[in-house]
Amino acid sequence: MYLYYVDTSNCSSLPNFKNGIDVSDPIHGHVIQISHLILEAVKEMPKNWLRYGERRVEDIVGVFVNLLAMHTDDSRFNLPKDILFPFHILSVLDPKAKWCTQWLHAAFGQHLFLNTLSQNMALVTFLVEEILSYLETYQNGHPGDMPENIIPGCIVKYATFTHTLSVLSQVVCFEKGRQFFPVVTKTTSELVSLEVMLVRMIMFLNSGSSYKSTVCMTPSGFEVILAFVKKLLQIGEEINENLMKTIIEPIKYRSMQPMKCNNIPCHTMKILLHLASSSTKISCLLGSRQKHKLSISKLNRNQNTTNTSAVGMRKTRQMNISLERQFSARSVRIPSIGNTDVSSPAKLIEHITTILMKHQDLSNVDELLSLVEMCGKLFRIHEGLSMLDAMNSQLISAVIVLYKQLSSEIESSRYCSAHEYPLKIKAGNPPHAVYMSLVSFLTEVASTPCGLYALAQEDSVLQDLLTTLFQYSYVPWEHPAFRHVVSLITAVWQGASVLAEESYRILTRPLCNLWSEFEDPLALMSGSERKQIEATQHFINVIYTFIPNLQGIMALLSEPDSSSEGTLVDTDMAPRTLAELLTFDSTVEPWHYISLLTLRALTTNMDVCLYLNSTIKYQEKLLKLQSENMSESEIEESRMKSNSVNKCIIIDKCSLLRHQILIATYAVGGPSERILPAVVIDAEHLDGDGESNLFCSLPPPKLASATRKMRSTRLKGQTDIQRFLQDTKQGLHDASWLSHARRAYRASCSDDIKV
């Protein structure tokens, strides 16, 4: 490969940007074949790092990096500037830089490549210059009819740009790669940092979207640039004000004109959605409070002062506290309803989404869905609820209006085959996607108490939302976020009324699943309990969703509608509702054990515990079951003598679980007040006479808390040495003080000390 470029006589026959690469040309074909061979060898190198010595591998990596940077050394090659060097040809063969991905996959390859690259900064400078040059000189054009076996120069330039972006995007993922910046380039007088490159790329995307004209032209390289921008935003520490203004410039310009959904640049939506999806970057859309606090501390720090006394530190601390309080008061200030401030990115996004919702513009569903998803992520955090004023948000009102309209249309379409939608919907874009996006948005809003209160002010919104969530073909009870939202909604009366109507349907499916898993013949033959444990855990997850509020449990215990249809027939021994499960009438396993697990979960809430004991008298039922689970025979291997009467209580997992529930509900308190008995018995849980602590009547003969030694908080008296040191802690001491200290120490010791 070097010989083709060292020999100046081959200058005219080498491929160039003007004529492109002619595969039928012998020299062009040889250069491509050699480059392809080098590329295949480079891709195989990471598989054989350990077969060679480290010095040998470093030499190989160094030679390849020098080959990539061949055209950066002007003193060695006196060739025209439009000649295609190995870097350009490798870019055509591998535009996504898969070789770089394989090299940087392991730590050894990262160490080798980044160290070699640090010794050849000319290649890093070329990568930056190539990107900036392409962004400045890009022309959106098509090469037209390409001749056979010829790769045009414009395609080579685009492949080089893509290859450069791919290499640089993988290098900056590492801390050592980011240390290469800022870079000094020949084309610009200022230093080029990653932030400067990010701003240039976003400006290029904005100019390519033609948001200031009526024509929207999207270059073919937008997706490549957008991927690089997202990666830089992901690894960046903070986003300054200038960068944020560049990002929101297209939609800010659109907010001043009649807004249409199909005029919003897609790249802006993707970048903002990427920021909103990150837990660390979403603050830049709302305004960084931490940055403001740091600036306040820097402004109040006087470098010339040397006052380090306690009084000076106290004054400084009081000043900082007062400043933080002033900032907190400003941060939670509710904006005016009539004054729409679009200076903040979050407010601007809400403003645009509100306009599109009010106009019911569904001409571009994808962009509208992105806006609604962004707003949902902003409304699910407390800062977003405060800044966007959820209690008086016009967006929430517009979303509710469109949600009700789409809900009625979808409901009517189930009964009418020839249904026409009055909304402005393009062909091929059904309203179901928008409807599900609105459901997701309302769910995000309802995931916080403030958002839930805002939705509770609207008529029948929470009822419709909860009904929609329960009517899914697959209800994701295993997801903690879903259970959290359902638990919050059912805490208010609107959700409790829906829960009372849907309680039969909610519990029927997990109960049927439990019955099928425990009656599965394959599981009975194999002895595997994995699916049975999973089904039990799934049912307990459903129960735990409603435990935090008493209204939810009262709704589940309500009598189901007689017209409700179930999947369990009357001959089944499985309970159908929570009330039937807590009657403890069924002694058939696993329902008795499942009912005990359910009761143990429900009694963790004090309100629910008192309510259940006053309605179903579970303590009396458990004591009755304990008394019926006793025998008059002698103590055997699986039976132990009771403390209360001279009978034998049969020990099994159900009796131990009943015992734990009775102790937990009778002796209420924390771990310092009583110890819950274990559900697995062993020798440590027996007293000195080999008797268990099980009982069948209240009060319990011996609480578990009696076995814990309470920590004494009474102050101990001071010893002689302590009193002596306390009395003589002031002033200087002489030799006599040491003799008195020795005498006091000997008097304080319990053992005799020989002198």
Please state whether the peptide bond connecting residue 590 to the residue before it is cis, i.e. omega within 30 degrees of 0. yes
Q: What is the pLDDT of residue 426?
A: 40
Helices (H), 547-666: 550-557, 578-581, 591-602, 606-615, 618-628, 653-666
Q: State whether 454 and 552 are in the same domain.
A: no
Question: Residue 76 pLDDT > 60, yes or no?
Answer: yes
Task: Kindly state whether residue 41 falls inside one of the protein's structural domains.
Answer: yes
Domain that holds residue 543: 480-601
Q: What is the pLDDT of residue 74?
A: 60
Contacts for 585-591: CB closer than 8 Å, 24+ residues apart:
589/518, 590/514, 590/518, 590/532, 590/536
Q: State whether 352 and 428 are in the same domain.
A: yes
Q: What is the pLDDT of residue 587?
A: 65
pTM exceeding the 0.85 threshold for the entire prediction:
no
Q: State whether 153 and 247 are in the same domain.
A: no
Q: Are 499 and 557 in contact (CB under 8 A)?
A: no
- Which phi and psi angles does 96 have, rounded to 5°? -90, 5
Between 695 and 65, whose confidence is greater?
Answer: 65
Q: What is the pLDDT of residue 694?
A: 80
Q: What is the pLDDT of residue 687?
A: 53
Distance CA 209, CA 230 (A): 18
- Which phi and psi angles does 738 have, rounded to 5°? -70, -40
Q: Checking phi first, is residue 343 left (phi over 0); if not, alpha (psi -120 to 50) or beta?
A: alpha
Q: Which residues are CB-contacts of 483 (< 8 A; sequence separation ≥ 6)?
A: 477, 541, 544, 545
Q: State whether 423 and 354 are in the same domain.
A: yes
Task: Kindly state whether residue 312 falls inside one of the protein's structural domains.
Answer: no
Distance CA 694, CA 702 (A): 9
Task: Kindly state whether residue 607 falls inside one of the protein's structural domains.
Answer: no
Question: Residue 716 pLDDT > 60, yes or no?
Answer: no
Q: Are 545 and 486 in contact (CB under 8 A)?
A: yes
Q: Are 5 and 30 in contact (CB under 8 A)?
A: no
Q: Are 118 and 65 in contact (CB under 8 A)?
A: no
Which residue in this structure is represented by tokens 């963790």?
Answer: 604
By DSSP bridging, strand 150-151 and strand 361-362 are unpaired
Q: What is the pLDDT of residue 321?
A: 45
Task: Kindly state whether residue 751 falls inside one of the protein's structural domains.
Answer: yes
Q: What is the pLDDT of residue 512?
A: 84
Last-in-domain residue among 167, 192, 217: 192
Q: What is the pLDDT of residue 612?
A: 92
Q: Are 286 and 383 in contact (CB under 8 A)?
A: yes
Rounded average pLDDT over 443-471: 88
Question: Residue 568 pLDDT > 90, yes or no?
Answer: no
Q: State whether 634 and 563 are in the same domain.
A: no
List 408's β-bridge partners, or say none: none
List 361's β-bridge partners, or say none: 424
The radius of gyration of the chain from alpha carbons, rounded to an integer in Å, stands at 37
The rounded mean pLDDT for the chain is: 77
Q: State whether 454 and 487 are in the same domain.
A: no
Rounded average pLDDT over 665-688: 70
Q: State whether 442 and 501 are in the same domain.
A: no
Nearest to 389 by CA among 460, 458, 339, 444: 339
The model's pLDDT over 624-644, given as tens digits with 9 standing for 90+, comes to: 888 887 765 544 444 444 444
Nearest to 128 by CA among 171, 82, 175, 70: 171
Between 432 and 705, whose confidence is greater?
Answer: 432
Between 206 and 306, whose confidence is greater?
Answer: 206
Question: Residue 338 pLDDT > 70, yes or no?
Answer: no
Nearest to 99 by CA among 173, 38, 180: 38
Nearest to 126 by CA among 179, 173, 85, 174: 85
Q: What is the pLDDT of residue 211?
A: 43
Q: State whether 677 and 561 are in the same domain.
A: no
Q: Buried b / exposed e across 609-644, counting CB within 10 Å, b at 16+?
A: bebbeeebebbebbbebbbebbeeeeeeeebbbbbe
Q: State whether 105 and 170 are in the same domain.
A: yes
The least confident of 89-93, 189-193, 635-639, 691-695 is 635-639
Q: Is the dihedral of CA 683, 685, 686, 691 positive or negative?
A: negative
Question: Residue 360 pLDDT > 90, yes or no?
Answer: no
Question: Residue 658 pLDDT > 50, yes or no?
Answer: yes
Q: Can you read off the two tokens belonging to residue 466?
A: 């909860």
Between 118 and 702, whose confidence is greater?
Answer: 118
Task: Kindly state whether residue 466 falls inside one of the protein's structural domains.
Answer: no
Model confidence band, residue 171 (pLDDT cutoffs 50, 70, 90): very high
Distance CA 499, CA 505 (A): 10
Task: Kindly state whether residue 18 falls inside one of the protein's structural domains.
Answer: yes
Question: Residue 690 pLDDT > 60, yes or no?
Answer: no
Model confidence band, residue 719 (pLDDT cutoffs 50, 70, 90): confident
The model's pLDDT over 407-441, given as tens digits with 9 standing for 90+, comes to: 888 777 665 544 444 444 443 445 788 888 999 99
Between 755 and 408, whose confidence is greater?
Answer: 408
Task: Kindly state whether residue 450 falls inside one of the protein's structural domains.
Answer: yes
Q: Are 130 and 160 in contact (CB under 8 A)?
A: yes
Last-in-domain residue among 160, 192, 224: 192
Between 412 and 705, whose confidence is greater?
Answer: 412
Using N-to-C axis directions, what is the helix angle for 194-209 and 121-137, rounded to 10°?
20
Rounded average pLDDT over 663-687: 72
Q: Can you read off the two tokens belonging to residue 474?
A: 């697959």
Task: Kindly state whether residue 438 falls inside one of the protein's structural domains.
Answer: yes
Distance CA 213, CA 220 (A): 19
Q: State whether 437 and 556 are in the same domain.
A: no
Q: What is the pLDDT of residue 634?
A: 42
- CA of 18: how far to CAs of 14, 35, 84, 157, 407, in Å? 11, 20, 10, 11, 60
Q: Are 470 and 500 in contact (CB under 8 A)?
A: no
Calculate ∠ Cα 309-313-314, nearest 5°.
Answer: 115
Q: State whether 267 and 127 are in the same domain.
A: no
Q: State whether 263 and 388 are in the same domain.
A: yes
The model's pLDDT over 262-297, given as tens digits with 9 standing for 90+, comes to: 677 888 888 988 888 888 888 888 875 444 333 333
Domain count, the chain: 5
Q: Can you read off the two tokens belonging to residue 61?
A: 């990596």
Q: Can you read off the two tokens belonging to residue 322?
A: 């007062």
The least confident of 280-289, 297-306, 724-733 is 297-306
Model confidence band, residue 368 (pLDDT cutoffs 50, 70, 90): confident
Question: Residue 543 pLDDT > 80, yes or no?
Answer: yes
By DSSP bridging, strand 639-641 and strand 648-650 are antiparallel
Last-in-domain residue among 426, 458, 490: 458
Q: What is the pLDDT of residue 367?
A: 83
